[in-house]
Amino acid sequence: MTTPVTLDRDRVRELFDLRGAYLAQVGGGYHGDPYPAWHRLRAEAPLHPGTVHELTGYDGPAHFQGLPYPDRPHFSAFSYAACDEAYRNAEVFAASPTPIDPRTGELAAQNSMLSMGGPQHRRYRALVQPSFVPGKAQWWIRNWIEQTVHLLIDSFAAEGRAELNVDFCAAIPVLTITGSFGVSVERALDIRAALRDPQAIVEILAPVVAARRAHPQDDLISVLVEAEMTDEDGVAHHLSDAEIYSFAVLLLTAGSGTTWKQMGITLTALLQRPEVLTAVREDRDLLRPAIEEALRWTPTDPMFSRYVTRDTDLHDVHLPEGSVLHLCIGAANRDPARWDRPDEFDITRKLRPSFAFGGGAHVCLGMHVARAEMRVGIGALLDRLPGLRLDPDAAPPRFIGLYERGATEIPVVFHAATEGNGRE
C-alpha cells in the first residue's frame, strides 16, 4: 500500500493563506470585488495615471512586480486593446527597468528570465521551452502530477469532508515543481518557505545539482544541467550553478505561487454552480472550457507591469521614458469590447485567448503544466469523490486579495470512500 502524502497543514496554511502575513504585502488585506471599479475606469478611458490599487480605492500594502518605485510616474491600462498593444511592443514596454544577469547579483525571481528582454530572453527561454510545450504535458502528468493528485486524495477520501484549498490545491503545484527538481516531499515546504531566503534554496538544491551533473536523470534539474546555450559572442557553454538556481527560483515562484490559487478559483466557481459542476462531471470534455473560462473570468494575478524605455504615446496618453505601465489584465479579461456578458462565468462561451497567462514574448512558460495540474486535479476529484459539494455547515469560500487573488477556504463534503470503492 502506498503511504499517503502528509504535509504540515499549519505550515501550508501559513505559506499559502492569502490572509496571512506572507501575502499581506501584495494586497492580501483586500476583501472587496475590484471589478466594478475596473469597469468604471475602463469605460472612462483605456489608460489612467496612477497605480491599479490606488485607482481601485485600496490604500493598504500592495507591493508587486513594478511597485512601488515612488520616484517614477505610474500609469495603468484597463482595456484589452491597450494591454495587447503593450504586450506586443516589448522594445518600448520592457520587463525590467535595467539589464539583469542571473550569473551575478541577487538570487530572486526578478533577477531571472522573467526580467530579460530581446535576444537574451530568447536564448534562456529556448533552453527550457521544450520541457513546457503542450506535447510535454504527459511527461509532467506521468512523472509527478498524477501521483501527487491521487496521493493527496488518498489522505482525505475516507473522511467524507476536506478543505480543498490547503489540503489539495496548494499542495499540488509545490509538490509537482519540487518533485521535478528531485526534492523529496519532506523538503517540499522547506523549499517553498525558502523563497523568503533564497540562499536557503541554494543549500537544498546544491547537492541535487551536483548529483545530476554526475548522473543525469529524467527530471527538470537534469534538463538544466545538460542544457547548452550559445551566448551573444557565439560561445557555447553549459549553465552555471547560479543560472540553474535562477531558473529554479523563477519556476518555484511562478509554479507554486499561482496555480494553486487558480485551481481554487476554478473549483470555487464550479462548486458555487452545482448544475455546471454536474455538467462537467458527466461530460469531461467540458472541463477544458471550464478551466479556460475561470482563467478569463478571475485570473489569480490580475496585474503585471512594464517599464517604458522611451517617450511614447499609448491610446492618446503620453508615457514618458522611465515611467511604469501597469497592465490590469483582470479588467482586460472582462472587456465588453471582446466578450459579451463578461462578468458571467459561462463555460459554453466561444473560446478566445485571454491574458490570464500574460502575453507577448513573456507569456507564461508553465501555462501548459498549470492547465495539466488543474485538469488532472479537478478531474480526479470528480472521479473519486461522489456527491462532491460545498459544505452547507461551513462558511462559503470568497475571493479576496488584490494583486494575488484567490479563494479563502474551500470546505466540501462528499460520500466517503470505503474499502473497495476507492482508487485501485
CA–CA gap between residue 390 and residue 402 (Å, rounded): 24
In this structure, is residue 247 part of a structural domain?
A: yes
Cβ atoms within 10 Å of 100's Cβ, excluding its own: 22
Indicate the burial class of 388 (C-beta count within 10 angstroms; 0-12, 13-18, 19 or more). buried
Give 249-289 pLDDT, tens digit per residue.
888 887 777 899 999 999 999 999 999 999 999 999 999 99
In this structure, is residue 424 part of a structural domain?
A: no
The grid cell for 229 is 546555450
SS3 for 56? helix
In this structure, is residue 420 part of a structural domain?
A: no
In the chain, the number of structural domains is 1
In the 8-state DSSP scheme, what is residue 106? -
- One digit per residue, the tens of pLDDT, for the chain of length 424 reads 445 556 677 777 777 766 665 567 777 789 999 999 999 999 999 999 999 999 999 998 888 888 989 999 999 999 999 999 999 999 999 999 888 888 887 888 888 888 899 888 888 898 888 889 888 999 999 999 999 999 899 989 999 999 999 889 988 998 899 999 998 887 888 888 887 787 888 899 999 999 999 999 999 999 999 988 877 777 888 889 998 998 888 888 877 778 999 999 999 999 999 999 999 999 999 999 999 999 999 999 999 999 999 999 999 999 999 999 999 999 999 999 999 999 999 999 999 999 999 999 989 989 999 999 999 999 999 999 999 999 999 999 999 999 999 998 999 999 997 754 555 4
Distance of CA 279 to the CA centre of its chain: 26
* Residue showing cell 503593450: 86
In the 8-state DSSP scheme, what is residue 214? H
Give 14-42 pLDDT, tens digit per residue.
777 666 655 677 777 899 999 999 999 99
In this structure, is residue 419 part of a structural domain?
A: no
How many residues can be counted in the chain? 424
Q: Could you give the count of Cα atoms lying within 13 Å of 36 in the half-sphere of its Cβ?
A: 3
- Reduced to 3 DSSP states, what percent helix, strand and coil does the chain have, rounded to the nearest 5? 50, 10, 40
In this structure, is residue 422 part of a structural domain?
A: no
Does the bond joining 68 to the residue before it have cis omega, within 30 degrees of 0? yes
Q: Which amino acid is at 101?
A: D
SS3 for 62? coil
Strand order through the sheet with 389-390? 161-163, 411-413, 389-390
Closest CA to 253 of 71, 37, 22, 40: 22
In the 8-state DSSP scheme, what is residue 142? I
CA–CA gap between residue 403 and residue 64 (Å, rounded): 7
CA–CA gap between residue 123 and residue 121 (Å, rounded): 5
CATH number for the domain that contains residue 19: 1.10.630.10
SS3 for 392? coil
Closest CA to 405 of 15, 18, 11, 16: 18
* Residue showing cell 485501485: 424
Domain interval for residue 268: 9-413
Give the predicted TM-score (pTM) of the model.
0.92
303-319 b/e with 16+ CB inside 10 Å = b?
Answer: bbbbbbbeebebeebeb
SS3 for 399? strand
Distance of CA 165 to the CA centre of its chain: 15
In the 8-state DSSP scheme, what is residue 397? P
> Angle CA(315)–CA(318)–CA(323) in degrees, nearest 5?
115
Residue 236 phi, psi dihedral angles, 5° rounding: -90, 140
Closest CA to 24 of 55, 62, 59: 62
